[in-house]
Amino acid sequence: MVVGKLERLQKYLARCGIASRRKAEEMIRQGLVKVNEQIVSEMGFQIEPGKDRVEVQGKKVEPEKRKVYFLLNKPGGVVTTLDDPQGRAKVTDLLKGVAERVYPVGRLDYQSEGLLLLTNDGELAYRLTHPRFEIAKTYLAKVQGQVKEQAVERLQKGVELEDGLTQPALVKIRQRGLAETLLEITIKEGRNRQVRRMCEKIGHSIISLKRIKLGPLALGNLQTGQYRELKQKEIQALKKACALE
């Protein structure tokens, strides 16, 4: 560890595997972080790793010695937060035998299933979720009703939601019946419940939603509720996608 070089507190927390950089910023604002026994609640605060003592909720934090990367096929009925006041099952509960402290990269809502990356690599997590890097996310959305081509075109061009116009999406019809349609939807944004809201906007409520790709990383045939460690070539591909290599 290099002593003497200053580092932003939220970046240090992410590097320690506490949370993503954005979540770390929330923790700082909430007064959950201390530096040298003093609560720090301001953004932009810098520390000297190896010299300053950093604590989160009374526990000292230090960088993880080994960066780890896990691909989980998230089942429905599991939350992607690390702490749930309602006591619901968390994605980290599914990672049996993982010694390192990891956190989910981005979110899948409670009902949604599919690909979820968990890691203690704060910089990679930050880049994969930051809009600037435009990392594509692909979903299989089973919706109610028969989706017409005009509705597909609306999604492809962008639809107006309460938080603004969505970016153009890549949309394919996988299966279409009278009662339901299976869509493959690829977006490069990460708004809350975005795919669900997009489909509702065109008049088709979602029956089930599953993420199958994150950038170059694919879910493949991993069974629901199962996880595996990423292969080295997958890690390299993710880093390349967000300009880390």
In 3-state terms, the chain is what percent helix, strand and coil (to 5)? Answer: 25, 30, 45
* Beta carbons of 104 and 118 less than 8 angstroms apart: yes
Alpha helices in 106-193 (DSSP H): 122-129, 149-157
Which residue in this structure is represented by tokens 């035998």? 97
**Greatest distance between any 2 Cα atoms in the chain:** 66
Mark whether 109 is an active-site residue: yes
Pair 210, 112: CB distance under 8 Å? yes
| Cα–Cα distance for residue pair 20/222, rounded to 1 Å | 25
Q: Strands, DSSP E only, in the chain?
A: 7-8, 33-35, 38-39, 46-47, 54-56, 59-60, 69-74, 103-104, 113-119, 137-144, 160-161, 164-165, 170-176, 180-187, 206-214, 217-218, 227-229
Catalytic residue among 84, 109, 121, 163: 109
201 CB-near residues (< 8 Å, 6+ apart): 154, 159, 160, 161
4 DSSP 8-state letter: S
Provide the 3-class DSSP secondary structure of residue 17: coil
Phi/psi at 22 (nearest 5 deg)? -65, -45
Q: Which residues are catalytic?
A: 109
